[in-house]
Amino acid sequence: MNTIRLSATATRNKFFELLNQVALGTHVIIEKDSKEVAVLSPKKQTVDWTALRKASKAVHGIWKDYDEKDNPLRRPGAWPTLGKWDK
């Protein structure tokens, strides 16, 4: 893990460049008057396993009742080019 120390002014001048570096995993420590005042760090990717399990139980078997003929884009009288995008 790389760490960069910069003054507040240098951070302001290179902000978008620093954002790209933070997206790649670099931590940036911002100093003002030789004191650490802030840290830019990458967002932690976490998975909410409880919500994922709940959502997967809610959609279990959702496709068993699907009928392709019931698609409103493919009904008789529908605009001819509407149903072509999902073929």
Residues 20-77: pLDDT tens digits?
A: 999 998 999 999 999 999 999 998 878 888 988 888 888 877 777 777 777 777 777 7
Half-sphere exposure of 44 (CA within 13 A, CB side): 3
Confidence check: pLDDT of 84 > 70: no
Residue located via tokens 């990458």: 42
Q: What pTM does this model have?
A: 0.51
* Dist. CA 62–CA 77, nearest whole Å: 27
57-72 pLDDT, tens digit each: 888 777 777 777 777 7
Q: In CATH, what number does 3-40 get? A: 3.40.1620
Contact 71, 80 (CB under 8 A): no
